[in-house]
Amino acid sequence: MTNFSKFEKKLKISFENQALLFEALTHRSYLNENPSWGYPHNERLEFLGDAVLELAVTDHLFRNFPDKPEGDLTSIRAALVNASMLATVATEIGINDVVLLSRGEAKDVGRARASILANAFEALVGALYLDGGYPAADAFIQRQLIPKTADILEKKLFRDAKSVFQEKAQEMAALTPAYRVQKEWGPDHDKHFVVGAYIGEELIGEGEGPSKQIAEQNAAENALRAKDWQ
């Protein structure tokens, strides 16, 4: 448990109920190889943390950006809580060093690992909420995630890539883009998709993600780059 203690100190969090921390950092695959571990996997905490995260981010944006319309606030929130951003923050705070995985999962350093890290971040938020209430979870989110808002605004990462690509495609080619699933794999709890963004029958860009929606957004981003429609 030494690593977990260091992890708590590094993040300035302290669990009264350590079992919640162990659960938050236990991936389903770890239990397959370590059935005597004694703690459940983190998917239920992930479910709870997702809702807490959305509330905390929504509350912050509502209070701090009184002049922004609902559409902008929704897009900024989506950019903050999407899997890619959560995986980035999870990596920065060291979740990758403490999350418990099977030997097979531990070797994966691609998109699958990013999804695991994003889910573990949400599970950690859920665990903090159960252990210390909303204030504890909110304080953690304010420290670790909310500072990313400035970067999102500066780089306009909150824009909806699909909407921009559609506008440009209609303007430049008089066609509406279509999205088609090229590949999908993985069990139900860890699906992955590759989606192609097409104008007519021409494949412009591909994107990958843990859901069709995220893969479509990534495909639209890549299509915008390919066409130099940034």
Q: Residue 15: CB partners within 8 Å, gap ≥ 6?
A: 8, 21, 127, 128, 131
Burial class (CB in 10 A: 0-12, 13-18, 19+), 205: buried
List the strands of the sheet with 192-199, edge to edge.
Answer: 178-185, 192-199, 202-209
Whether 83 and 184 map to the same domain: the answer is: no
DSSP-based three-state secondary structure for 181: strand
Whether 115 and 148 map to the same domain: the answer is: yes
Whether 68 and 176 map to the same domain: the answer is: no
Query: Which of these three, 128, 154, 180, is where a domain ends?
Result: 154
Whether 7 and 56 map to the same domain: the answer is: yes
Whether 41 and 123 map to the same domain: the answer is: yes
Whether 37 and 147 map to the same domain: the answer is: yes
The amino acid present at 68, given as its one-letter code, is: K
Q: What is the CATH number of the domain that holds 221?
A: 3.30.160.20
Read off the pLDDT of residues 20-72 as tens digits, 9 standing for 90 and up: 999 999 999 999 999 999 999 999 999 999 999 999 999 999 999 999 988 78
What is the domain range of residue 194? 161-227
- Active-site entry in 122, 131, 138, 216: 122
Q: Which of 113, 110, 89 is nearest to 101 (CA)?
A: 113
Q: What is the CATH number of the domain that holds 148?
A: 1.10.1520.10
Token pair 């209070």 is found at: 63
CA-to-CA dists, residue 36 to 11, 31, 88, 105, angstroms = 28, 8, 31, 19
Token pair 């500066």 is found at: 154
What pLDDT is recorded for position 126? 98
8 A C-beta contact, residue 165 and residue 177: yes
End-to-end CA gap in the chain: 47
Q: What are the tokens at 71? A: 């559409």
Q: How many Cβ atoms from other residues are within 10 Å of residue 196's Cβ? A: 21
- Active-site entry in 46, 50, 138, 208: 50
Is-catalytic flag, 105? no
Report d(CA 12, CA 143) in Å as an integer.
Answer: 10
Is-catalytic flag, 108? no
Count H helices and E strands in the chain, helices first: 12, 3
Report d(CA 142, CA 205) in Å as an integer.
Answer: 35
pLDDT by residue, tens only, the chain of 230 residues: 557 999 999 999 999 999 999 999 999 999 999 999 999 999 999 999 999 999 999 999 999 999 998 878 888 998 899 888 899 999 999 999 999 999 888 777 666 688 899 999 999 999 999 999 999 999 999 999 999 999 888 877 677 788 888 989 999 999 999 999 999 998 877 788 999 999 999 999 999 988 888 889 889 989 988 998 86
Q: What are the tokens at 25? A: 């950092």
Whether 40 and 92 map to the same domain: the answer is: yes
Report d(CA 103, CA 9) in Å as an integer.
Answer: 27
Whether 76 and 135 map to the same domain: the answer is: yes
Report d(CA 50, CA 148) in Å as an integer.
Answer: 17
Number of domains in the chain: 2
Whether 43 and 102 map to the same domain: the answer is: yes
Kindly give the pairing relationship between strand 192-199 and strand 202-209: antiparallel
Report d(CA 214, CA 153) in Å as an integer.
Answer: 20
